[in-house]
Amino acid sequence: MTQSLTKLVALGAVAVGLSLPAYALEWNVSVWGKRRAFTEHIHKLDELVQKKTNGEFKLNISYGGLSKNTENLDGISIGAFEMAQFCSAYHPDKNPTLMVLDLPFLGVETLRQEGALDMAVYKHPAAVKDLARWNATILMASPLPQYNLAGVGKAPTTVADFKGHRSRATGGIGDAMKRIGAVPTSVTSSEAYTALETGVVDSVAFAPHAHLSFRTVDIAKWWTSNFNPGSVNCPVVVNTDALNGLSAKHREALLGSVPEAMEFYYTTYNETYKKWDAKLKERNIEVVKLSPAVVGAIKAAAADPVRDAWIADMKAKGLPGQELYDFTVNALAKLKK
């Protein structure tokens, strides 16, 4: 039951003289796939919010029942649901400012660095204004480890091997791979297994949890351990009107629970890494470690051109691309210190 509908039910009951149990506020949350490390902070948030409000406020988390993953931002904009998770790379034109976080080879070293960097960019005035167009406010990040490729056939070990290599790779990662001759495709995460199984792609670029969740690891023959081209940023957003409509108590319960929910996310991800290592051994998947020279050559060929092209495109749209890039790089440098 949505916030507005719950209020109507309560008012109607009062009108006919019925007594109700404690007032319940329920928010619908749109995510996709299945429950996994990537969504655990949302479940933890629900647990904390219910506890702090004595069950008055809860989150109904739906895996695909409310919207397609590529349409979650649209659903938020019209108030079809109150909260959602999405990945910016699914629709770069809808959230151009956030795509700075998807630029390849930014140099993020840890998951916590990624989470802190994401939130810093999400609070930049240009990003806030960008999301406001969709009546959306970013609540928290869903930081992902560096992506790596899991694939079939011959594993690429040189720059030349990537020429003609077909890979499910989105955002800046896809742009980077294209620069070295690969053929990126942006099929959704849910379609990745079929694309790899049927030979539509030779590899899939995912973080470990997604390789596990979407089962690409079940058919992969090799995995690159240090390609590390970057990651994809996937914020959790709320409908701004719904957020503003919360009582002070409910608002504090929601916003005040974010830090603990994020800590739970990081703890959960440590367990995911353990499962990932075990899966690689269980399926005897070849771990491909690219030489520093190959990684360096890929970075030189891909990172700078993609960055420059993105900044030029942002300028053409009247958006502060250079400012956002400089802000991101400086924020990461501070985090590393």
- pLDDT score of 173 more than 50: yes
Mean pLDDT of 274-300: 92
Rounded to whole angstroms, the Cα distance separating 83 from 2 reads 11
Calculate the alpha carbon distances from 168 to 23, 173, 321 in Å.
46, 10, 26
- Look at residue 18 in the predicted model and tell me its pLDDT: 43
- pLDDT score of 52 more than 80: yes
Output DSSP code: residue 101: G
Contact 259/199 with Cβ under 8 angstroms?
Answer: no
Calculate the alpha carbon distances from 176 to 195, 231, 264, 308, 309 in Å.
20, 12, 32, 12, 11
pLDDT digits (tens, 9 = 90+) for 113-126: 999 999 999 999 99
Residue pointed to by tokens 């001759």: 181
Rounded to whole angstroms, the Cα distance separating 97 from 128 reads 9
- Look at residue 8 in the predicted model and tell me its pLDDT: 41
Strands 203-206 and 166-168, bridge-based pairing: parallel
Phi-psi region of 207 (alpha: psi -120 to 50; beta: other; left: phi over 0): beta
State the greatest distance between any 2 C-alpha atoms of the chain, in Å, as a whole number.
Answer: 76
Mean pLDDT of 203-208: 93
Contact 209/272 with Cβ under 8 angstroms?
Answer: yes
- Look at residue 254 in the predicted model and tell me its pLDDT: 98
**Degrees, nearest 5: CA angle 269-273-278:** 145
Class of 148-231+284-336 in CATH: alpha beta
pTM for the full predicted model: 0.80
- Look at residue 3 in the predicted model and tell me its pLDDT: 53
Rounded to whole angstroms, the Cα distance separating 175 from 48 reads 39
Residue 25, judged by CB atoms within 10 A of its CB (0-12, 13-18, 19+), counts as: buried
Mean pLDDT of 157-165: 94
pLDDT digits (tens, 9 = 90+) for 229-274: 888 899 999 999 999 999 999 999 999 999 999 999 999 998 988 9
Of 173 and 3, the one with more pLDDT: 173
Q: Grade residue 15 by pLDDT with cuts at 50, 70 and 90.
A: very low
- 69-73, 206-210, 277-281: least confidently modelled range: 206-210
Contact 45/257 with Cβ under 8 angstroms?
Answer: yes
Residue extents of the structural domains in the chain: 3-142+233-272, 148-231+284-336
Contact 168/187 with Cβ under 8 angstroms?
Answer: yes
Q: Grade residue 292 by pLDDT with cuts at 50, 70 and 90.
A: confident
Tell me if the domain spanning 3-142+233-272 has CATH number 3.90.550.10.
no
- pLDDT score of 1 more than 70: no
Measured in whole angstroms, the distance separating CA 337 from the mean position of its chain's CA atoms is 25
- Look at residue 13 in the predicted model and tell me its pLDDT: 40
Domains 3-142+233-272 and 148-231+284-336 share a fold: yes
- pLDDT score of 333 more than 70: yes
Mean pLDDT of 71-94: 97
- pLDDT score of 96 more than 60: yes
- 16-25, 258-267, 298-307: least confidently modelled range: 16-25
**Consecutive H or E run containing 278:** helix 258-282
Contact 10/20 with Cβ under 8 angstroms?
Answer: yes
